Amino acid sequence: MPRRSILSAAERESLLALPDTKDELIRHYTFSESDLSIIRQRRGPANRLGFAVQLCYLRFPGVILGADEPPFPPLLRLVANQLKVGIESWDEYGQREQTRREHLVELQTVFGFQPFTIGHYRQAVQLLTELAMQTDKGIVLARALIEHLRRQSVIVPALNAVERASAEAITRANRRLYDA
């Protein structure tokens, strides 16, 4: 029997939604001089733009942009403007899959991003169990987990893993409450 979902489709979508106001875009995606110096080490405008867009997605919402996924147009425009390259450069990025993979490895190394592991999962369930003692709202737990992962520079896993950790925390909290 399939497990009951603790998040609605709209809640799932909202968890990794990109900022939609200019102020939020600027707040999340403005590069420091240090960032720009690292980005400028890439060869050609397409690689600089691609590397920078991947960095943006890793920072917020905390995920890896899929190979066939186009970036959010307002984000792409903002990044291209900061780098002084045309947005059409994106079309040339990642023609070699190896380039994208190398950039992701480098981004993880240089900026300290970590993949989500079983250790992170266990820590997440433990952290969320305390919060689940106060609420059984899946969206509250999932948001708390994603915010925690972003602060720790951990790449946000697939939403089903976030939902599973939240559901497990609710179950543990309920057991604790009923055993008390």
- Has this prediction a pTM greater than 0.85? yes
Task: Give the separation between CA 134 and CA 72, rounded to whole angstroms.
Answer: 36
Q: Are 15 and 143 in contact (CB under 8 A)?
A: yes
Look at the block and give the residue holding tokens 């400028």.
40
Whether residue 35 has pLDDT greater than 60: yes
Kindly report the average pLDDT of the chain as a whole number: 95
Tens digit of pLDDT for each residue in 2-15? 467 899 999 999 99
